[in-house]
Structure 1
Amino acid sequence: MKKRLVLWSSLGVAALLATIGAAWVLSLPPAPDVGAAPPIAKEEADAMLAALKPPKRQRPLIAIIGINDATETTDYLMPYGILRRADVADVVALATKPEPVTLYPAFKVVPDMTVADFDTRHPDGADYVIVPAMSRDDDPTVLQWLRNQAAKGATVIGVCAGAKIVGETGLLDGKLATTHWYYLDELRKRHPAIRYVADRRLVVDRGVVTTTGITASMPMSLTLIEAIAGRDKAEAVARDLGLPHWDARHESDAFTFTRPFALTALANTLAFWNREQLGIDLRAGADEVSLALVADAWSRTYRSHAVTFARTADALETRNHIRIIPDKVATNWSAEHLLPAIGSQRPAQALDQALQGIATRYGMPTADLVAMQLEYRR
């Protein structure tokens, strides 16, 4: 039986575990047995940077594409916020239709333009196209647009399970690649010509980039900034993010189904009477990367879901000019269900504090469950 953890839906976890049964759960390891990943050789790092150099413009044009009905929150907002703050490229957030993009598991945003508008304004295409995870891998508009962008010389970057979408275009056939740990088997079975690379958070091969799970878009974005504008610029942005170091190293064996993961997911899903709606006070100028990480984390506990509220129904502009439409209009929120204010908090710190808050509220196993989904080593 195909063991599909539907990270888009907590009900998928309960259905999976109930179907497979206790025997499978008990057969899972109690914890992955891994050590620290070895450092990346300088020759490999230099080759990656050379392969990521801007293919067309001195100041590159970067397009982030999403479908309107469900695109992963952090995959869409994190590269946008990081690359915008670096100010080394022109960055646009796209959608397939001229309406807001519903992100999952949290937020609704106003895109800068549609893919059709982008093609009209930039007939020679983007330098880089970033592809987040989406609720479907076979959207015909997305697939054809990606093929067209690749044909025009764009470097295509599949973030997290966005690699599955890139795989559907055929652009990964015969190339080295990676993806979110949960979707790896699916990607390899569906596209056997892909050559998986373990222990790397991002893999570059002939104009196509893929990354591991959700938080990998942070080192991916920093690596792209370094390729465009040099190490000093990337380090300055990393300091702004609260990230002291980054590279492509990754402990792939650390991310897998474990017995605590399965049991915590099942227990939290079945405790439906304890599910909470937690409010985020959305203010103009907030850091969209911190917002995305915090909302994503709190919405993956299977005990809670984060929503935004504001004093107006109008879209509010974040630090780097993405427009977020509040979920609710309210002047305040129950103190018991109000998440700490984000403001200008550095993203890496915001994520660590969110995981600590989850551990305090629901227990360490739930914080570990969230970190595993985000593919984040705590």
Structure 2
Amino acid sequence: MSWRILVWSGLGCLALFATIGGTWLFMLPDQPSRGTAPAISREESAAMLAALKPPKRKRPLIAIIGINDMSETTDYLMPYGILARADVADVLTLVTQPGPVTLYPALKVQPHATIAEFDATHPDGADYVIVPAMSRDDDAVALQWIRSQAGKGAIVIGVCVGATVVANTGLLDGKRATTHWYSVRDLQKHAAIRYAADRRLVVDQGVATTTGITASMPMALTLIETIAGRAKAEAVARDIGLVEWDARHRSDAFQFTRPFALTAIANTLAFWNREQLGIALTPGIDEVSLALIADAWARTYRARPLTFAATAEAQPSRGGLRILPDRIAADWPAKQTLPAAVALPPAQALDQTLRAIDSRYGPRTADFVAMQLEYPR
């Protein structure tokens, strides 16, 4: 008799779970809101540029801080790669402890220095500190260092969910801010922070924040414009394949929808249908395109992108960053080798990658990835 009770109890729990899950899915919107992003006035744009002016040096020093175990791939690499192209500032990638940075959801790099080494070389601090999303937004060492840099006059920029890291330093208290659409509620848990909707980049009293992952592109271009002028920013924008980069954004266009949830569930549960996709790691590879491609494929929940090279030696990227191969191999099976989109301008590389994901896994997965990256299709 007892086993029958257990069986019926288990079936009842499953039925209850299915009912709750089905109700939750039914209540989700079928598609995100449609519409045009509100315009940004010239006065607002000018005020943003003025607020981001280099606080110390004519040629600014920019530090990108990460923790060793899983800092977000594109948040960490894209600002570096775009700013390095412009050559209007000295840009350094930093890490809290000695050793490489394992990025999430893909890639591994050897940063320029630890924060201790940076402090010893630059006791007066950076002009800008860029904070990516991290696997732990409460890392005590990272938080203290960010606070110390702000105390030395640095402008702190939280990219994507890096905004929650900055929020945990207390530097956003009493200020306006934004973040990735999925983490807005986490940001709003800080009662002293005022969430600013419909802005891709928000600057308030020495602290800036951005929306989702691809917002690193307009953020970096805005920094270039405020440091070196509009013409220089336009030249870099053409080089990376971006037409516009102002703060326009429609927040309602990115949200948790029924197709998004169903795709996440289906792709996660299909554990038997995973594949490892190879990306050839060669000297001079464009770190921005590489980051976008690897990030996008990893976010399908169907593929694990891996870099490979003939030796274990770190390969220098276009901007001089050392990227470590995931696998030592002379080649990769043709059907599992990703197209050489890394040779394209970053925006075009991402567009081509989303088309390839659409072809390989279907349009819902491509839309699922674009929504995570906050990239309009």
- In the alignment, structure 1 residue 104 sits paired with structure 2 residue 104: yes
State the partner residue of 1:202: 201
State the partner residue of 1:138: 138
State the partner residue of 2:178: 178
Residues 20 and 54 from structure 1, CA distance in 2 versus in 1: closer, same or farther, beyond 3 angstroms? farther
State the partner residue of 1:241: 240
Percentage of identical aligned residues? 71
Contact persistence 1:37–1:199 (CA under 8 A): yes
2: CA distance, partners of 1:56 / 1:82? 21
Report the RMSD for the aligned CA atoms in angstroms: 1.1
Contact persistence 1:286–1:342 (CA under 8 A): no
2: CA distance, partners of 1:243 / 1:110? 28
Q: How is 1:10-159 mapped onto 2 (pairs within 5 angstroms)?
A: 21-159=21-159
Residues 339 and 175 from structure 1, CA distance in 2 versus in 1: closer, same or farther, beyond 3 angstroms? same
Residues 19 and 188 from structure 1, CA distance in 2 versus in 1: closer, same or farther, beyond 3 angstroms? farther
Please state how far the C-alpha of 1:135 moved relative to its aligned partner: 0.1
Deviations 1:69-88 (A, max 9, x none): 11000000000000011000
State the partner residue of 1:268: 267
Contact persistence 1:78–1:218 (CA under 8 A): yes
Please state how far the C-alpha of 1:204 moved relative to its aligned partner: 0.1
- Residue type of the alignment partner of 1:220: M
Contact persistence 1:285–1:343 (CA under 8 A): no
1: CA distance, partners of 2:29 / 2:39? 27
Please state how far the C-alpha of 1:98 moved relative to its aligned partner: 1.1
1: CA distance, partners of 2:63 / 2:294? 23
1: CA distance, partners of 2:33 / 2:175? 29
Residues 60 and 19 from structure 1, CA distance in 2 versus in 1: closer, same or farther, beyond 3 angstroms? farther
Please state how far the C-alpha of 1:20 moved relative to its aligned partner: 5.8
Please state how far the C-alpha of 1:26 moved relative to its aligned partner: 1.4
* Deviation >6 Å, runs of 4+: none
- Residue type of the alignment partner of 1:154: A
Kindly name which structure, 1 or 2, has the bigger radius of gyration based on alpha carbons. Answer: 2
1: CA distance, partners of 2:28 / 2:173? 32
Residues 367 and 18 from structure 1, CA distance in 2 versus in 1: closer, same or farther, beyond 3 angstroms? farther
2: CA distance, partners of 1:362 / 1:26? 24
Contact persistence 2:88–2:224 (CA under 8 A): yes
- In the alignment, structure 1 residue 353 sits paired with structure 2 residue 352: yes
- In the alignment, structure 1 residue 257 sits paired with structure 2 residue 256: yes
Contact persistence 2:341–2:353 (CA under 8 A): no
1: CA distance, partners of 2:94 / 2:220? 18
Deviations 1:65-117 (A, max 9, x none): 00001100000000000001100000000001110000001111001000000
2: CA distance, partners of 1:143 / 1:20? 39
Gaps of 5+ in 2: 1-16
2: CA distance, partners of 1:49 / 1:18? 51
Deviations 1:144-183 (A, max 9, x none): 0011000000000000000000000000000000000010
Deviations 1:173-213 (A, max 9, x none): 00000000010011111x11101111000100000000000
Please state how far the C-alpha of 1:39 moved relative to its aligned partner: 1.9
- Residue type of the alignment partner of 1:334: P
Deviations 1:43-82 (A, max 9, x none): 0000000000000000000000000011000000000000
State the partner residue of 1:14: none
1: CA distance, partners of 2:232 / 2:18? 50
1: CA distance, partners of 2:176 / 2:313? 44
Residues 53 and 20 from structure 1, CA distance in 2 versus in 1: closer, same or farther, beyond 3 angstroms? farther
Deviations 1:23-56 (A, max 9, x none): 1011101001220112210000000000000000
1: CA distance, partners of 2:19 / 2:281? 40
- Residue type of the alignment partner of 1:160: C
Count of matched residue positions in the alignment of Structure 1 and Structure 2 = 361
Please state how far the C-alpha of 1:344 moved relative to its aligned partner: 3.0
Residues 186 and 19 from structure 1, CA distance in 2 versus in 1: closer, same or farther, beyond 3 angstroms? farther
- In the alignment, structure 1 residue 364 sits paired with structure 2 residue 363: yes
2: CA distance, partners of 1:356 / 1:178? 29
Q: TM-score, normalised by structure 2?
A: 0.94
Q: 2:343 aligns to what SS in structure 1?
A: coil
Q: 2:341 aligns to what SS in structure 1?
A: coil
Q: TM-score, normalised by structure 1?
A: 0.94
> Which moved further from structure 2: 262-271 or 291-300?
262-271
Contact persistence 2:72–2:103 (CA under 8 A): yes
Gaps of 5+ in 1: 1-16
State the partner residue of 1:5: none
1: CA distance, partners of 2:22 / 2:228? 52
- In the alignment, structure 1 residue 161 sits paired with structure 2 residue 161: yes
1: CA distance, partners of 2:169 / 2:208? 14
Residues 305 and 18 from structure 1, CA distance in 2 versus in 1: closer, same or farther, beyond 3 angstroms? farther
2: CA distance, partners of 1:276 / 1:83? 33
1: CA distance, partners of 2:322 / 2:160? 23
Please state how far the C-alpha of 1:123 moved relative to its aligned partner: 0.3
